[in-house]
Structures are given as structure tokens and as C-alpha cells.
Amino acid sequence: MIISTTVGVNFTNCYLIGKKNSKAVLIDPGDQPNKIKDMINENNVKVKKIINTHGHFDHISANTDMKKYTEAVVCIHQNDQASLTDPNKNLSTLLGEDNSVNLESPECLLKEGNLIEVAHYSFEILHTPGHSPGSICLYDKKNSVLISGDTIFSMGVGRTDFPNCSQEELISSIENKIINLPEDTVVYPGHGEKTTIGRFKVDVWEKLI
């Protein structure tokens, strides 16, 4: 199963991936922990890992609550680990001092080529910097699935006008890691509706380049 619920002020897609009545991983618990708990309970799963596709506040804010609830290990790319503990790097300072996000350091640091295995899924970590230094996508070749975080969306690409972003790196990440994946690969983005690599090429990429 790949199911999701939308959380927080930026309508972030929080994904639960695994097998009903068995094990799962939780991706981008950005806010509203009670809503995420309901999704977990409705599917009766044991969450083994909490994975952040990058370190911006709208993808990490419920990490602590969900870690306490599930006893799962929090994972993020090594280049974004400081974002969990630094409100300036996770951009929560944009929400005002009362809403700053300051979390614990992660127990698990991800890097290019790592594998996340759950149920019949085997996701390879693709390091796709640009939207943030440690942005990642998770790619399952066998099942033709890409969890894209904020690297690509059904109708756009990740913003690069925040601190520590890079438009040049984002373009390079998409050109070298994503655009040549099989066109029938289903893309589950950090915000908005799912798409495919083929549709992304036509709807977004060919209009940008």
C-alpha cells in the first residue's frame, strides 16, 4: 500500500508505505500528528522508519510526536541533518518565533544508494539537491514508484528561492537522476496530486527547458 494524508499549512503529503496489518515506513510527517496516527491505526501497521525527504518545517514538524508514538527511527539525508535542530535551516522562522521548529538530531543518516525495504518495496535513495542540500527521492524500480519530495510535482519543480537552495543543482538533479526514469514510473510528490515521469516531461519539463 501507498496511502497518504495531507497535513499542515502547506498541505504536505504524508505517506504511509508498507503492508496493511504488518510493517510500514512513514514519509514526511509535516504536522497534525493526530491525523497521522489515525492513518497508522486504520491500517494497523508497525512503523519502523520515519523518513524526511528534506529538512523543511512542513515535512518534519511532527517527527518527535510520531517517534514517541511509533518508536521508529528518524532518517534524513546527511546534508539536511542540521535542519532538524536549526529553525533557520528548516525555514520555520518564516512562521514567527512562536512557531519555530527545533527537533532532536536524527538517528539515521541517509546517502545516495541506500536501500529502504518494506513489504514488497525496495526503495533506492536518490540524492537530488537543489530545493535543499539534502533533498532525496525514493525510487523503487521493480514497482515503478518514485517518492519525489519537493524535487518535482505534477505541475512544477521545487522552489529554489530559499536560503541554501540552488536552481543549478535542482536542474542537474532532475536531468541526471529523474527525467530518464521509465515514463510509466508513478510519482508521489510532497505536495499536490500524483503524476508519472512521462506526464511530468510533457506538462512541466518540456515547458521549462
**Within 10 A of 36 (CB to CB), how many other CB atoms are there?**
25
Q: Supply the pLDDT for residue 97.
A: 72
Q: Which residues of 53-80 are buried (b: 16+ CB within 10 A; e: fewer)?
A: bbbbbbbbbbbbbbbebbebebbbbebb
- Tens-digit pLDDT profile for residues 110-142: 999 999 999 999 999 999 999 999 999 999 999
Q: What is the pLDDT of residue 156?
A: 95
Report strand pairing: 145-149 vs 152-153. unpaired
Domain boundaries 2-208, CATH class: alpha beta
Rounded to whole angstroms, the Cα distance separating 106 from 81 reads 7
Place of cell 525495504: 117
pLDDT at 98 exceeding the cut of 80: no
Strands 12-18 and 23-27: antiparallel
The fraction of the chain above a pLDDT of 90, given in percent, is: 88
Catalogue the E-assigned strands of 64-164.
73-77, 108-110, 115-118, 121-127, 136-140, 145-149, 152-153, 156-157
Considering the entire predicted model, what is its pTM? Answer: 0.94
Distances, alpha carbon 130 to alpha carbons 20, 29, 40, in Å: 34, 21, 31
Residues 167, 117: contact at Cβ < 8 Å? no
List the domain boundaries for the chain.
2-208
